[in-house]
Amino acid sequence: CDKYKTGVIDGPACNSLCVTETLYFGKCLSTKPNNQMYLGIWDNLPGVVKCQMEQALHLDFGTELEPRKEIVLFDKPTRGTTVQKFKEMVYSLFKAKLGDQGNLSELVNLILTVADGDRDGQVSLGEAKSAWALLQLNEFLLMVILQDKEHTPKLMGFCGDLYVMESVEYTSLYGISLPWVIELLIPSGFRRSMDQLFTPSWPRKAKIAIGLLEFVEDVFHGPYGNFLMCDTSAKNLGYNEKYDLKMVDMRKIVPETNLKELIKDRHCESDLDCVYGTDCRTSCDQSTMKCTSEVIQPNLAKACQLLKDYLLHGAPSEIREELEKQLYSCIALKVTANQMEMEHSLILNNLKTLLWKKISYTNDS
């Protein structure tokens, strides 16, 4: 709020946070200073408030991120920067993160619209500094790119590098979340059985699963390149009261170009050293002892791995065998396979069709 009052930052949430005090912070959902996340209420609407979820311009492999460096956080753009110059800065950032896509200028214009928080047709210096800080965060960038897609939570607003996104009612595929102290004490086998007890009915699970398959389509060679899902655990996915899948944490969904730059030439002893997040794996080239840049498993294979137990538990007997067969073909998908894109589309469509056919006549669909 000090930065907002002195004009360093700006954004649609600033006035509610610092002047009218209509943006409330509720329960804290995180335990680390660099990873702040709260349930919140903004003008009577529930939301999730997130603050500087990654170190700017820095994706670290396996180590803890440091608390935010206040001094450098809002250092760009500087006073006197023109809107044209700011557009060029954003364009260069996107080129480095997303690769040389033909339609990057379209995305730059979209960002300028989002940055203009007060809708006055101009981007002030405070708005530009806030937008620049936020664009370093993959989740924010992805929310802007996928703002019209139904499985991406809506961005409600921002102030500096704090942003508010739509709240999701159920924040895990399994609909049960326990305090972390209890999580530590429960054996993983027992936890898996417990999870299955708290899942929705099978047709509802099928609808949620179709949502995940649609999200995989959204990020696979979308309008601004391919994004890789590097942590496909159940806790990053949620759903609403209509059983539509919503992503609840997209920090580990990274642009493929960006990941290749980060992982190639990384020193390695074995393939285990070439992992980002929990799920993006490349191989270790033993002749150079460097990680290669080609990720082994596509998003779809990882999504099917996650959905296997979820969908097979309680599946109707007449489709169980076919469903199992399709899920295993899906898990076996490799990025390096010939005609991978065609196979990817075929497997994805077959799975969606099988599930839709089974649930389209039920109330749950």
Task: Tokens 């600033």: give the residue.
Answer: 14
Q: Tell me the pLDDT tens digit for each residue of 65-81.
A: 444 445 457 889 999 99
- Quote the pLDDT of residue 72: 58
pLDDT at 320: 96
Tokens (6 digits) for 203: 């047709």
The pLDDT assigned to 53 comes to 55
Q: Supply the DSSP symbol for 287.
A: T
Give the phi and the psi of residue 39 in degrees, each rounded to 5. -75, 140
Cis ω before 77 (30° cut-off from 0): yes
pLDDT < 70: residue spans in the chain: 53-72, 175-198, 337-338, 362-365
pLDDT of amino acid 58: 43
Q: Which helix (H) or strand (E) holds 26?
A: strand 23-28
The three-class DSSP label of residue 52 is: coil
pLDDT at 65: 42
Paired residues of 23 in beta bridges: 42
- What local confidence, expressed as pLDDT, does residue 35 receive? 75
pTM recorded for the entire structure: 0.87
The whole-number pLDDT of residue 200 equals 87
Query: Any idea how long the chain is?
Result: 365
3-class state of residue 214 by DSSP: helix
CATH topology of domain 180-257+292-360: Transferase(Phosphotransferase); domain 1 (1.10.510)
Distance CA 24, CA 47 (A): 10
* Neighbour-count burial of 7, counting CB atoms closer than 10 A to its CB (0-12 exposed, 13-18 middle, 19+ buried): exposed
